[in-house]
């Protein structure tokens, strides 16, 4: 290739590189990434969190509707403050952490995308897998793209951050979590709140 | 024996009540960790860290009071056993 042609194509190549979606790794060494869950119960609501978050999300700030990715949460990382309750939660009667070690959400499509500045909101449809049961669900997601902010979290790294927030509910009966049982003791509805950030290293 | 059991029973009931009262009093379940909410300064994400602590709940109080009740009940049983043993000894005398 002639040097003149190479110089002419260089800006185009730069544009193509910039337009490519960024890959964000959601394994956070700081332990900030987590999912909190809440179930109503007669004496006291059962609240806890799961911090074993990992996964990759491809996000293009110029085309947020092309979002794809998968978020994984380890079942073993689920924590509730009562030790007996935690034992029950991990047991084969409920989450069966030994047999089903992961809870996953894989993005299939994105709709109703609205972007204002760094903030993007969208309805994300994907496959949610819990205790081996896969169901397609649509959840409202709020994304915040923090360009060049990675160095503020990890001083030696240059890159961007993508903050993901979502609040939605699922029914335990839909995922075989003691379906139709103990509803007088534990509500059927599980309120979930996702708050996590991914990093894309340049 | 009877008096000892009653004293232990009263001590268990009192101490567990005091521990529960000074722990809150927590009307929920017993907890061995407490959630502390923090905010990540860069991302603004709110997240929970779990702090190891013991917070007695109503289940702790109920179990302790039940144990105290059982000890108190045993004190009556010990009196009956002691009386039966005494009667047997008296009847065996020539």
- pLDDT tens-digit map of A47-86: 999 999 999 999 999 999 999 999 999 999 999 999 999 9
In chain A, the DSSP E strands lie at 22-25, 34-39, 46-50, 53-59, 68-74, 78-79, 102-116, 119-130, 133-146, 159-171, 189-201
Torsion angles phi and psi, residue A13, rounded to 5: -60, -40
Minimal-distance CA residue of chain B relative to A43: B28
DSSP state of A15: H
Least CB–CB distance from A163: residue in B28, B45, B57: B45
Residue A14 lies in a domain: no
- Say yes or no for a CB contact (<8 Å) between B32 and A81: yes
From the list B26, B50, B48, the residue with the least C-alpha distance to A81 is B50
Do you know the residue count of chain A?
A: 202
Q: Is residue B93 included in any domain, yes or no?
A: no
- CA–CA separation, A92 vs A97, rounded Å? 7
Q: Which of B27, B32, B43 to mutate to test the interface with A (most CBs of A within 10 A)?
A: B43
Tell me A76's DSSP state.
G
Total domains in the fold of chain B: 1
Structural domain containing residue A191? 21-201
Please give the pLDDT value at position A2. 56
* Measured distance CA(B60)–CA(B24) in Å, rounded: 13
Range of the domain at B53: 2-85
CATH, residue A27:
2.40.128.110
Q: How confident is the model at residue A6 (pLDDT cuts 50, 70, 90)?
A: low
Q: Is the pLDDT of residue A31 over 60?
A: yes
For the CA atoms of A85, A86, A91, A96, what is the dihedral angle to 10 degrees?
130
pLDDT at B87 over 80: no
Chain centroid to Cα A73, Å, comes to 8
Q: What is the mean pLDDT of chain A?
A: 90
**B91 part of a folded domain:** no
Residues β-bridged to residue A71? A55, A105
Q: Using CB atoms, which residue from B42, B48, B58 is nearest to A49?
A: B48
**Tally of domains within chain A:** 1
The residue among B27, B41, B42, B58 with the most chain A CBs within 10 A of its CB, best to mutate, is B42
CB contact under 8 A, A144 and B43: yes
Question: Does residue A103 lie in a domain region?
Answer: yes
Query: Can you tell me the mean pLDDT for B59-86?
Result: 85
Q: Is residue B92 part of a domain?
A: no
């Amino acid at each position: 290739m002639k040097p003149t042609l190479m110089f002419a194509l260089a800006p185009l190549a730069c544009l193509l590189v910039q337009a490519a979606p960024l890959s964000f790794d959601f394994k956070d060494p700081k332990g900030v990434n987590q999912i909190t869950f809440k179930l109503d119960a007669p004496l006291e609501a059962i609240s806890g969190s799961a911090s074993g978050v990992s996964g990759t999300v491809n996000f293009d700030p110029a085309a947020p509707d092309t979002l794809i990715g998968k978020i994984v949460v380890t079942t073993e990382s689920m924590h509730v403050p009562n030790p007996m309750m935690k034992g029950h939660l991990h047991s084969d009667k409920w989450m069966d952490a030994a047999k089903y070690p992961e809870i996953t959400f894989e993005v299939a499509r994105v709709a109703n995308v609205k972007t204002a500045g760094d903030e993007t909101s969208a309805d994300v449809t994907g496959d949610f897998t819990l205790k081996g049961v896969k169901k397609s669900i649509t959840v409202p997601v709020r994304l915040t793209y923090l360009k060049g902010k990675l160095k503020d979290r990890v001083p030696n790294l240059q890159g961007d951050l993508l903050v993901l927030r979502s609040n939605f509910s699922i029914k335990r009966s839909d995922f075989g979590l003691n379906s139709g049982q103990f509803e007088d003791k534990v509500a059927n509805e599980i309120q979930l709140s996702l708050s996590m950030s991914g990093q894309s290293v340049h | 024996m009877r008096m000892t059991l009653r004293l232990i029973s009263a001590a268990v009931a009192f101490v567990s009540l005091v521990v529960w009262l000074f722990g809150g009093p927590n009307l929920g379940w017993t907890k061995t960790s407490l959630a502390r909410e923090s905010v990540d300064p860069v991302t603004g994400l709110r997240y929970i860290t779990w702090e190891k602590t013991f917070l007695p709940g109503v289940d702790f109080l109920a179990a302790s009071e039940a144990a105290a009740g059982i000890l108190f009940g045993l004190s009556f049983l010990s009196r009956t056993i002691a009386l039966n043993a005494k009667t047997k000894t008296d009847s065996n005398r020539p």
